[in-house]
């Protein structure tokens, strides 16, 4: 039996299609295996961290002062310091952000300063605390609370 050119072309395409499907299945299986291995290690690390971490937590960790090296103690100093810095940042950043937002929405509709303030605000929004390597310190800075509060509607 002699095959026509059309049927031969269809067979070639079908064999290529089957080969691609096999390669795709192989790659998918390997990717899933790599994902499972990686997730397994992450679960083991997280489990060890939680197991050993919770055993080290106690009321003393949150209520005792930070000791000198090698002595037992807690984390009261850094906790209180973080709270103080956060309160100071909110006290400084809130009025500045509210005043800037009010000015831009009410008085500065066509003022060149408004476009500058909006541009700076957009820059501050684009580099938020989550992208910063110092993200815990970001909560303590009025620099970070200003763009949260200075967001008037763009229809002004």
Asked whether 117 and 104 are in contact (CB, 8 A), the reply is yes
Among the residue ranges 44-58, 69-83, 95-109, 124-138, the one predicted with the least confidence is 124-138
Indicate the pLDDT class of residue 129, thresholds 50, 70 and 90: low
Q: Count CA atoms within 13 Å of residue 44 on its CB side.
A: 6
Percent of the chain with pLDDT over 90: 22
Gap between the Cα atoms of 156 and 144, Å rounded = 24
Quick check: pTM over 0.85? no
Q: What is the mean pLDDT of residues 88-113?
A: 82
Gap between the Cα atoms of 79 and 37, Å rounded = 37
Higher-confidence position of 112 and 129: 112
Query: Where would I find the H helices in 57-75?
Result: 59-63
Phi, psi of 140 (to 5 degrees): -100, 10
Query: Where would I find the H helices in the chain?
Result: 5-56, 59-63, 76-106, 112-126, 135-138, 142-149
Gap between the Cα atoms of 61 and 19, Å rounded = 61
| Per-residue model confidence (pLDDT) at position 25 | 96
| Per-residue model confidence (pLDDT) at position 3 | 58
Domain spans, the chain: 5-57, 76-149
Indicate the pLDDT class of residue 146, thresholds 50, 70 and 90: low
Q: Which tokens sit at 102?
A: 């009010």
């Amino acid at each position: 039996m002699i095959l026509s050119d059309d049927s031969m072309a269809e067979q070639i395409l079908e064999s290529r299609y089957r080969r691609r499907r096999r390669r795709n299945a192989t790659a998918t299986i390997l990717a899933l295996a790599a994902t499972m291995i990686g997730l397994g290690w992450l679960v083991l690390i997280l489990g060890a961290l939680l197991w050993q971490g919770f055993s080290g937590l106690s009321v003393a960790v949150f209520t005792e002062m930070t000791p000198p090296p090698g002595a037992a103690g807690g984390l009261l100093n850094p906790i209180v310091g973080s709270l103080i810095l956060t309160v100071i940042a909110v006290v400084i950043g809130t009025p500045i952000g509210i005043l800037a937002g009010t000015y831009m929405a009410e008085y500065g509709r066509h003022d060149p300063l408004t476009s500058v303030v909006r541009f700076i605000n957009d820059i501050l929004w684009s580099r938020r605390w989550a992208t910063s390597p110092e993200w815990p310190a970001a909560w303590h800075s009025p620099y970070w609370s200003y763009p949260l509060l200075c967001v008037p509607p763009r229809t002004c």
